[in-house]
Amino acid sequence: MSRDKLIIFGAIVLGCLSLLVYKQAKKDEAIGRPVEVAAEKPSVAAPDDIDKISITNGDKGEVVLEKAADSSGPADAGATAKWVLTAPVKADASQQVVKDLLANLKDLKADSQVHLKLDDAVRKDKQLDPAHAVHVVAWKAGTKKLDELFGKSGAAGELMVASSQPDQVWAVKGYSSYLYTKEPKDFRDKEIFRFDDANASQITVTSSHGTLSFTKGDRWAGTADKKPISRLDEEKVKDMLRAYKSLAADDFGDGKSLAETGLDRPEATVTIQLKDNAGTYELALGKIASGSNRWAKRSDGGIIYQVTNFAAEWAVAGEAKFQSSPDAGAPKAAAKK
């Protein structure tokens, strides 16, 4: 190949490479890339004293949390308050979940602006559209203090659009998505029972199998319909108490009736008494709910819960659940030579 042809060929290759570089630069510009700009960084963290939070996780609906007076405390407790859900249902919130959420809202920080043209296609791709974005709004005394959309997370950070700068996208540091994208049930207070199992002195279980009674002396003793339980395994009684001492709901039966859940005629009832009259805990168990979960309700409350089969089985299984196997402790047969 002559020198002139080589020069022409080289020029063509160089031109092609330049075109590819130009196209890639335009592509990078379209998909977004952190750039240093003179725009003022928005303040994206929430103040300490907000009293209402709305979280809309795309098309999954809105969860609203509000601070309210705690009527369950003593009358002389002063100005105590707790967080409650007001949407999608009215219920007590998990105070720890809200505490973690508030801490995260205070840690948010705009890190760098991301150059994006926010048309419908880009919003959808970056999950900043109504069907995918996590929309977080916070108020104090009726005044909006924070209003932000969170989208995809990438190397630069979590993409965020603040209502104060609706056409600008920022990479935000500190955002923990799992705190905001929970199912509504996971913002709720799921606690059913909480007690010290070492203080349990009496357990009564009634079901279609009869009545089981366990009494704590030096050791646990048990009867089935007032007859001593043979081969009672004390460790299994302790296992039951461990299952109930911090019993939590797996889900809730909002809007369901006692008849629908079988709690009008419970299939089993568990009563746990603590020593020195320190408290009594009673749970009724109804029909199968979903999977192997069962419907349940405290005797002193109106909330219908779902509890796992792990907890429910101690009540519905009967005497055999608390017995050791007939050959437990028996010497093993010598191996044949």
Token pair 């928005």: residue: 42
Do you know the residue count of the chain? 337
The answer, yes or no, to whether the previous bond of 266 is cis (omega within 30 of 0) is: no
Q: How many domains does the chain have?
A: 2
Q: Are residues 183 and 203 in the same domain?
A: no
pLDDT along the chain (337 residues), means of 10: 59 61 52 52 92 96 94 59 96 98 96 93 96 97 96 91 94 96 97 98 97 97 97 98 98 97 98 96 97 96 97 96 80 54
User: Given this model, what pLDDT does residue 78 score?
Assistant: 52
Token pair 């408290």: residue: 279
Give the integer Cα–Cα distance in Å for 223 and 255.
38
Residue 296 to residues 9, 213, 242, 247, 288, Cα–Cα distance (Å): 80, 20, 18, 11, 10
**Taking a C-beta distance cutoff of 8 angstroms, is the pair 180, 101 a contact?**
yes
| Of 60, 44, 41, 305, the residue nearest 180 (C-alpha) | 60
Q: Are residues 141 and 159 in the same domain?
A: yes
User: Given this model, what pLDDT does residue 3 score?
Assistant: 59
Angle between helices 309-316 and 234-244 (to 10 degrees): 130
Picking from 150, 169, 187, the residue at the C-terminal end of a domain is: 187
User: Given this model, what pLDDT does residue 33 score?
Assistant: 47
Q: Are residues 265 and 291 in the same domain?
A: yes
Q: Are residues 252 and 166 in the same domain?
A: no
User: Given this model, what pLDDT does residue 32 score?
Assistant: 47
Picking from 145, 163, 187, the residue at the C-terminal end of a domain is: 187
Sheet holding 210-216, edge to edge: 227-228, 220-224, 210-216, 200-207, 268-274, 280-288, 294-298, 305-307, 251-252
Token pair listed for 113: 């602006």
Is 109 part of any domain?
Answer: yes
Q: Kind of pairing, strands 294-298 and 280-288?
A: antiparallel
Q: Where are the beta strands (DSSP E) in the chain?
A: 34-35, 52-57, 62-69, 81-87, 91-92, 109-114, 134-140, 143-154, 157-162, 169-173, 200-207, 210-216, 220-224, 227-228, 251-252, 268-274, 280-288, 294-298, 305-307
Q: Are residues 226 and 244 in the same domain?
A: yes
User: Given this model, what pLDDT does residue 240 score?
Assistant: 98
Q: Are residues 144 and 264 in the same domain?
A: no
User: Given this model, what pLDDT does residue 321 score?
Assistant: 97
Give the integer Cα–Cα distance in Å for 278 and 237.
20
Q: Are residues 216 and 297 in the same domain?
A: yes
Q: Are residues 140 and 68 in the same domain?
A: yes
Residues 6+ apart with CB under 8 A from 158: 150, 151, 152, 171, 172, 173, 175, 177
Domain hosting residue 173, numbered range: 52-187
Picking from 149, 164, 187, the residue at the C-terminal end of a domain is: 187
Helix/strand number for the chain, H first, E second: 6, 19
**CA angle, 152 then 166 then 150, to 5°:** 25
Q: Are residues 283 and 249 in the same domain?
A: yes
CATH of residue 252? 2.60.40
List the end-to-end C-alpha distance of the chain, in Å, as a whole number.
88
Give the integer Cα–Cα distance in Å for 83 and 88.
15
**Taking a C-beta distance cutoff of 8 angstroms, is the pair 97, 186 a contact?**
yes
User: Given this model, what pLDDT does residue 70 score?
Assistant: 80
In whole angstroms, what separates CA 111 from the centre of its chain?
A: 28
Is 314 part of any domain?
Answer: yes
